[in-house]
Amino acid sequence: MTQPLLPDSPFPPPARPDGDFHDTLAQTLEKAPYLLVSLALHGLAALLLAGLAFLRPEPEAAVEIRMAVAPPPPEIVEPPPPPPESAQPETEEPVLVEADLPEDPEPLLAEDDAPDFAAGPDLRAETFAPIGLGPGGGGGGVRAGRPHGRGGGSPTEKAVAAALKWLHDHQAPEGFWDCDEFMY
């Protein structure tokens, strides 16, 4: 039984036992020139890469830069400050000057008909006396030991009266205070 050969087959016919290896190789090479072209191209590429690796120019010697460190500047020793002078500063003796003051000063509080509520008895003295603290009560706390007077005296009352007068003068008819002309 013989196998039919295809006329344009790139493959060689199967090896025959009576044929020689060299004959079979020669027949294969005759029918496959692309194999030789591929081997030649691969060889050329290998030569180019070897040339790049072995034939590159030698690098220039690196320039060595040496610097000398400048010595530190000498320390400047400043002389110690001179000792402070031991002379005593001259002090002026105070001179007493007598002022011309009137003999009878004017009272600072204006006399008016306003009742003095601070002068009345303490209405809470008997109603809020805690048990055990004695008559009049008033144990410790924030205001312990302070006088029970109301107000700061005549200068304070005069300032409060002036402030209330200012508010009265500047109150608008609608009931609010405006500061349009508050400097007079």
Counting residues of the chain whose pLDDT is more than 90, the rounded percentage is 8
Q: What is the mean pLDDT of residues 38-66?
A: 89
Q: What is the mean pLDDT of residues 58-71?
A: 84
User: What was the pLDDT predicted at 6?
Assistant: 54
Model confidence pTM above 0.75:
no
Neighbours of 32 (CB within 10 A): 14
Q: Which residue has the higher pLDDT, 134 or 171?
A: 171
Residue burial 119-141, b: 16+ Cβ < 10 Å; e: rest: eeeeeeeeeeeeeeeeeeebeee
Contacts of 29-32 spanning 24+ positions with Cβ under 8 A = none
Q: Is the pLDDT of residue 167 over 80?
A: yes
User: What was the pLDDT predicted at 45?
Assistant: 97
- Predicted confidence (pLDDT) per residue in 72-107, tens digit: 888 888 888 887 777 676 778 888 888 777 777 666
pLDDT band at 43 (very low <50, low <70, confident <90, very high): very high
- Distance between CA 163 and CA 170 in Å, rounded? 11
Mean pLDDT of the residues in the chain = 74
Are the beta carbons of 167 and 161 closer than 8 angstroms? no
Report in angstroms the alpha-carbon separations of 141 from 115, 116, 121, 173. 30, 27, 21, 45
Q: Which residue has the higher pLDDT, 40 or 119?
A: 40
Structure tokens at 153: 């005296």
> In Å, how far from its chain's centre is CA 149?
53
Structure tokens at 157: 């009352």
Q: What is the mean pLDDT of residues 36-65?
A: 88
Q: Is the pLDDT of residue 50 over 90?
A: yes
- Predicted confidence (pLDDT) per residue in 142-159, tens digit: 666 566 555 566 778 888
Q: Where are the domains of the chain?
A: 21-53, 153-184
Q: What is the mean pLDDT of residues 50-65?
A: 84
Q: What is the mean pLDDT of residues 53-75?
A: 85
